[in-house]
């Protein structure tokens, strides 16, 4: 009992990265996608968000990378208010977040190296740094051999690894993964999740939205279940089923 | 800033080469548009040249009776020169008229022989009046026929040229109207087609633009490659269009050298080479830039 308490204190002393304060999101002329969400995510956490389709998982993630903005409540990222983020500041915000999607979202006309390098080029990183950083990151995800291949020449699992490398190359505070294993076979799925866990163990916060019970059980960390835009379960260390 | 321009320009060049077919299609459409517009431009200039040439040849000749003195003709000349509608009044003496006549008929020995037969100079001194505007010849000839010196005049040949002048006037007016009408129509159509082609090009980049935004590219960084690509389209299309235009004019000159319009085409092309080239490149690039700007608004949510 005392040990567990200590862990909690340690967790709570960590920096808050995301704070949802009474967040609501209503799409025009539609039912609320998110309804009064109160949630705190701290540095170094691995949070799995589960729930049925239409429960609000993707909307929650979109608010974080500012693809959508909340219609009510306040959302803080790294102590900065995200509501109505200005057009000018949006790209800078995006560079502090890495995103990974079910459909990989790689640039089809760029090879593996260029896809990862592009994320650095847009932030004005010097060429020398790009040349040294990109191969390192590709080495971490195990794709150094396929640097000159184009996305269509890779398997789904490999494409997702490229996407993860691209998300990681900025050294972002948070990685957001929206159903990253949705298009992958079980073996590749496992590899992707292990990669995300490895990244998390190196200190990056990971927020994962998933349908996949096996995946969430494998992670075995904080699980948040959404239903009709509301948080119905938030357990610090959980499995898909009992969440 | 320099890094951004360098990177986005490289990006534009890669886009251009990697989207081979689409680039070729866009350049072809843009080339055709520019070609149509430049053909219109060159033909308008050529027709204008021909019309000006014909207009130059139109005049009113006032022939004086043989006994009228040179001083008297000089008075009439300075009286006519006072009218602001009149561009020039040239005096052709009897001797000058004979000289011209002989030169014009140098290949007709019969005519020259009959001239010798007469023994004296049968030709009349005349004043050749040119106006700025072909419409004014009617007025001028009416004035001359009613003037106090009309008793010294043998004849005014306006009547002879009247039909030609009237027809020419009508022709010029119609040609200009039709030219401007057709030209504007073709130009408008070409602009719309090109504009649409560029929009389609951008549309195929829709998901790429979404990805670029996701990895934190600023709108400027996303836009610049497309703008450079537009300029690239413009330059390339301008060059190809100039080449096609040159070839077409050459071919027309080979197969139809006798048409007076044709002979002026090449000199117009060469004389206006840089204006034509710069105009096409500028128009092409402008279309590329405006087209991509408007097409991208949607995907950049600005």
Sequence spans of domains, chain A: 1-96+174-243, 105-171
CA distances to A2, A8, A40, A46, A238 from A12, in Å: 15, 6, 10, 14, 18
pLDDT digits (tens, 9 = 90+) for A144-181: 999 999 999 999 999 999 999 999 998 999 999 999 99
Is residue B63 domain-shared with residue B195, that is, in the same domain? Answer: no
Residue of chain A with shortest Cα separation from B217:
A122
Answer yes or no: do B48 and B192 share one domain: yes
Q: Which two tokens stand for residue A4?
A: 């567990």
Q: CA-CA distance, A58 to A103, in Å (whole number)? A: 14
Task: Output the pLDDT for position B161.
Answer: 61
Last residue of a domain, one of B138, B160, B182: B160
pLDDT at B139 over 50: yes
pLDDT, position B174: 83
Note down the domain range covering B252: 2-54+169-300
Residues with Cβ within 8 Å of B105's Cβ and at least 6 positions away in sequence, in order, are: B111, B112
Same domain, B231 and B254: yes
Q: What is the CATH number of the domain that holds B81?
A: 3.30.70.3040
- Token reading at B188: 């408008």
Last residue of a domain, one of B110, B127, B160: B160
Asked if B1 reaches chain A (Cβ–Cβ under 8 Å), the answer is no
Q: Are residues B77 and B132 in the same domain?
A: yes
- Could you please state the CATH topology (level 3) that the domain comprising A1-96+174-243 is classified under: Rossmann fold (3.40.50)
* Mean pLDDT, residues B163-188: 77
Q: Which of A44-58, A69-83, B30-44 has the lowest mean pLDDT?
A: B30-44
**Each residue's pLDDT tens digit, B254-267:** 887 766 666 677 78
Residue after which a domain boundary falls, among B160, B190, B212: B160
Count up the domains in chain B and report the number: 2
B8 contacts B228 by C-beta, under 8 angstroms: yes
Query: Quick one: pLDDT at residue B302?
Result: 46
Interface ipTM: 0.81
Question: Residues of B with CB below 8 A from A87's CB?
Answer: 219, 302
Residues B209 and B278 in one domain: yes
Q: Which residues of B touch A105 (CB under 8 A)?
A: 207, 210-211, 214
pLDDT for res B126: 85
- The count of C-alpha atoms lying within 13 angstroms of the C-alpha of B50, restricted to the half-sphere facing its C-beta, is 17
Q: How confident is the model at residue B11 (pLDDT cuts 50, 70, 90)?
A: confident
Over residues A75-127, the pLDDT tens digits come to 999 989 998 888 888 999 999 999 999 999 998 888 999 999 999 988 888 88
Predicted confidence at residue B252, as pLDDT, reads 82
Q: What is the pLDDT of residue A10?
A: 55
Please tell me the predicted confidence (pLDDT) of residue B104. Answer: 80
Q: Are A65 and A56 in contact (CB under 8 A)?
A: no
pLDDT of residue A4: 47
Whether B50 and B87 share a structural domain: no
Same domain flag for B193 and B294: yes
Residues B183, B284 share a domain: yes
Calculate the average pLDDT of chain A: 89
Q: What is the pLDDT of residue B115?
A: 77
CB A211 within 8 A of CB A226: no
Contact B15 A109 (CB under 8 A): yes
pLDDT band, very low/low/confident/very high, at A1 (cuts 50, 70, 90)? very low
B178 and B49 assigned to the same domain: yes
Nearest by CB to B216, which of A87, A91, A107? Answer: A91
Residue B219 phi, psi (nearest 5): -55, -40
């Amino acid at each position: 009992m005392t040990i567990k308490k200590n862990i909690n204190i340690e967790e709570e002393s960590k920096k808050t990265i995301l704070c949802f304060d009474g967040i609501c999101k209503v799409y025009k002329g539609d039912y609320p996608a998110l309804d009064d969400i109160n949630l705190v995510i701290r540095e170094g956490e691995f949070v799995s968000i589960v729930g049925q389709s239409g429960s609000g998982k993707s909307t929650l993630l979109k608010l974080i990378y500012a693809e959508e903005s909340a219609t009510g409540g306040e959302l803080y990222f790294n102590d900065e208010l995200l509501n109505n983020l200005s057009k000018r500041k949006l790209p800078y915000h995006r560079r502090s977040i890495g995103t990974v999607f079910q459909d990989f979202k790689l640039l089809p006309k760029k090879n593996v190296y260029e896809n990862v390098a592009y994320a650095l080029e847009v932030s004005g990183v010097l060429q020398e740094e790009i040349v040294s950083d990109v191969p390192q990151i590709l080495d971490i995800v195990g794709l150094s051999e396929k640097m000159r291949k184009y996305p269509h020449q890779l398997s789904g699992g490999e494409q997702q690894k490229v996407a993860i490398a691209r998300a990681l190359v900025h050294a972002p505070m948070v990685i957001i993964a929206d159903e990253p294993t949705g298009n992958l076979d079980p073996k590749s799925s496992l590899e992707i999740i292990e990669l995300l866990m490895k990244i998390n163990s190196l200190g990056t916060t990971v927020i994962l939205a998933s349908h996949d019970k096996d995946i969430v059980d494998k992670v075995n960390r904080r699980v948040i279940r959404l239903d009709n835009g509301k948080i119905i379960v938030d357990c610090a260390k959980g499995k898909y089923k009992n969440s | 800033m320099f890094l951004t321009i360098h990177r986005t320009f490289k990006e534009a060049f890669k886009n251009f080469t990697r989207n081979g077919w689409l680039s070729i299609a866009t350049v072809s459409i843009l080339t055709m548009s520019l070609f149509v517009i430049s053909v219109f431009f060159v033909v308008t200039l050529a027709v204008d040249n021909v019309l000006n040439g014909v207009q130059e040849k139109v005049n009113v000749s006032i022939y004086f009776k043989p006994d009228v003195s040179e001083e008297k003709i000089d008075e009439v000349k300075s009286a006519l020169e006072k009218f602001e509608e009149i561009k020039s009044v040239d005096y052709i003496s009897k001797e000058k008229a004979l000289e011209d006549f002989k030169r014009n008929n140098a290949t007709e020995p019969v005519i020259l022989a009959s001239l010798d037969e007469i023994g004296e100079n049968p030709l009349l001194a005349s004043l050749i009046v040119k106006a700025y505007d072909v419409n004014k010849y009617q007025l001028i000839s009416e004035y001359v026929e009613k003037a106090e010196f009309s008793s010294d005049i043998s004849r005014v040949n306006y009547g002879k040229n009247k039909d030609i002048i009237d027809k020419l006037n009508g022709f010029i007016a119609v040609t200009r109207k039709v030219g401007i009408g057709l030209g504007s129509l073709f130009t408008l159509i070409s602009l719309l087609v090109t504009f649409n082609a560029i929009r389609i090009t951008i549309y195929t980049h829709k998901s790429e633009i979404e990805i670029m935004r996701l990895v934190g590219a600023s709108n400027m960084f996303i836009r610049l490659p497309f703008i450079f690509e537009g300029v690239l389209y413009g330059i390339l299309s301008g060059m190809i269009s100039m080449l096609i235009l040159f070839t077409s004019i050459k071919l027309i000159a080979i197969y139809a050298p006798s048409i007076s319009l044709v002979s002026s085409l090449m000199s117009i092309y060469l004389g206006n080479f840089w204006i034509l080239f710069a105009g096409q490149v500028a128009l092409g690039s402008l279309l590329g830039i405006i087209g991509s700007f408007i097409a991208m608004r949607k995907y950049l949510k600005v």
